[in-house]
Amino acid sequence: MLKKAKEILLISIVTFISFFFLSACSNKSASKQQMTRPKELQSWQMSNMNYIQLHKLSTGKSQKIALIDSGVTQNEKTVYSASLIGGSEFDENGHGTMMYSLIKGIPNELQGIAPDVSIISLKIMGAESSVTPEIIKQGIEQAKKEGATIINLSIGSTKNNPLIANEIKKCIDSGISIVASSGDYSSESMMFPASSEGVISVGAIDQKGQILSLTSGANHTVINAPGGDVMTEGLDSKIFQSSGTSQATALISGYVALLKDVVARYHKVLSNEQIISNLEKINSGTENYLSILKKIK
C-alpha cells in the first residue's frame, strides 16, 4: 500500500496552488474584471495564437477532447461525463473546470481556443488532487471507448508507469492524440506521461514569450505554449488569472482539435508525427499557429 501511495500523480495540485497564489497577488485587478463583466474578457493567448483568424478556418466542431481531470461544473456542456472515483461527476477541485474554460470558453465572457469541440469529462480526482495509476489507465480506456480524438492529460508523475504507457501507445497507434503537461516543478526532465514517446508534451510561456521558470523539461517539450497569467474560470463561475503547464496543455489540445478538424473536412488524416512536426515548427518560430493551420488545408 505504501508503494502505491508513492505513485500518485501530483502535478494538478501544484497548478491549483499556483492559481490561488496568482489570484491573491492580483486580487484588485481580478475584482475589477469581475465587477465590470465585459461581454468578453480578453486574455493574451487569444492574440498570441490569433483566435480570430484561426476560427475563420476551424472551431474544432468534428473533434472530441477527453478531459481526464477533476471533472467540470454542471454549467459546462459535455457529450459525456462520468466519475471514475465514485460520487458526483462534477468538479470539486476547480482544475478540470479551468481546462474546460480554456478549450471551450465561457459564452459572452471568455473565448475558447476550440469553442465548437465536444468535451468528454472523465473525473479521476476529487478535491485532494491526487490519483492512482490504475484510475488514469481506466480514464484513458474510457476516453477511447467514448470516441475521443484527443486526450488532454494535465497531470504528471515523477515515475513512469507501464500500464499507462501501454494504454497511451494503443491510443496513439489508433490515431488518438495524447497531449500532456511537462510539469510544474522547474526540473530539467519532463514528467510522465509527457516524457513518453509519441506524446505531445507541453510547457508554458508568459506574455513576453519567455518560458515560465516552473516548466519542467522546457528544452525537451514538443511545444511551449501560453500558460502564464491566462484567464480561466473557477468553480464559482468567476474569471481569474492562472498559470501552469496544465493551462498551456489545454490550449494545445484545443489547437490540435482545429488541425484535425480542418483535415477531416477534406477527408484526410494527420499522423501523430505530422502533428508533432508542425507544433515543433511553431515552437522554433519558423511557423505560427495560423500559418500551420492554413498550410494543412
Look up residue 70 and give its three cell numbers. Answer: 477533476
Residue type, 70: S
pLDDT of residue 3: 37
Of 36-40, 74-78, 198-202, 253-257, the one with minimum mean pLDDT is 36-40
Between residues 15 and 265, which one has the greater pLDDT?
Answer: 265
**Does residue 30 surpass a pLDDT of 50?**
no
Angle at 145 between CA 133 and CA 16, to 5 degrees: 45
Between helix 95-104 and helix 11-25 the angle, nearest 10°, is 80
pLDDT digit string, tens, across residues 213-225:
999 999 999 999 9
pLDDT digit string, tens, across residues 128-187:
877 899 999 999 999 999 999 999 999 999 999 999 999 999 999 999 999 999 999 999
Residues 6 or more apart from 287 whose CB is under 8 A from it?
A: 278, 281, 295
pLDDT of residue 297: 77
Mean pLDDT of the chain: 88
- What percent of the chain clears pLDDT 70, i.e. is strictly above it? 86
**Does residue 240 surpass a pLDDT of 80?**
yes
Q: Which of 43, 12, 99 is nearest to 229 (CA)?
A: 43
**Does residue 48 surpass a pLDDT of 80?**
yes
